[in-house]
Amino acid sequence: MGVSEYATEVRAEWIDYNGHFSEGYYVLVFGFATDEAMAALGLGEDYRAASGCSLYTVESHVRYLSEVGLGAQLRIATEVIGAAERKLQLAHTMYAGNEIIATEELLALHVDQAAGRAVPLPEEVRAAAEARLSPAPDWSGRRVGL
């Protein structure tokens, strides 16, 4: 079961010299999708302001599967595929129409910004994440190689 969705349109400033959606902007859009997932789990702006805690991405793996251009309508579906005391593992799937154009798997730590270290997730957030756990997609856990 998904935790959230984010939608946007490919902007002119996101187009590279080949006329395609540039690779760095895929990651930017995935970041916006992470923000949506955080809000859906109770880790949104109000939580960050009150607690001084946030999620920090510590590892990610992006797969670029298809090219899109200016004006493409993007939709990112996010799933929680792992939850632990201080960590969340998310899987983002980016669509243009019904076509999957990219995926990102990420590992995020729950960090107390003042202390500069990982701390346990609030129990209600961890429970919300565990209630929405989805099986890991077949593309998660891969490594880069020839």
pLDDT at 143: 85
| Among 64, 95, 54, residue whose Cα is nearest residue 78 | 95
At 40, which helix (H) or strand (E)? helix 23-41
Q: In sequence order, what are the beta bridge partners of 76? A: 6, 94
H or E stretch covering 35: helix 23-41
Cβ contacts of residue 125 below 8 Å, gap of 6+? 41, 42, 43
Assigned CATH class of 4-131: alpha beta
Helix (H, G, I), strand (E, B) or coil at 38: helix
**What is the pLDDT at residue 51?**
97
Can you read off the two tokens belonging to residue 62?
Answer: 């992006």
Amino acid 13: pLDDT: 97
Domain ranges of the chain: 4-131
pLDDT of residue 145: 83
97 Rama sector, left if φ>0, alpha if ψ -120 to 50, beta otherwise: left
- Residue 74's SS3 state is strand
Q: pLDDT in tens for each of the 146 residues of the chain? A: 689 999 999 999 999 999 999 999 999 999 999 999 999 999 999 999 999 999 999 999 999 999 999 999 999 999 999 999 999 999 999 999 999 999 999 999 999 999 999 999 999 999 999 999 999 999 999 888 88
What pLDDT does 36 receive? 97
Burial of residue 43 (number of CB atoms within 10 Å: 0-12, 13-18, 19+): buried
Angle subtended by helix axes 23-41 and 123-131, to nearest 10? 110
* Spatial CB neighbours of 102, under 8 Å, sequence gap ≥ 6: 26, 30, 62, 63, 64, 65, 66, 94
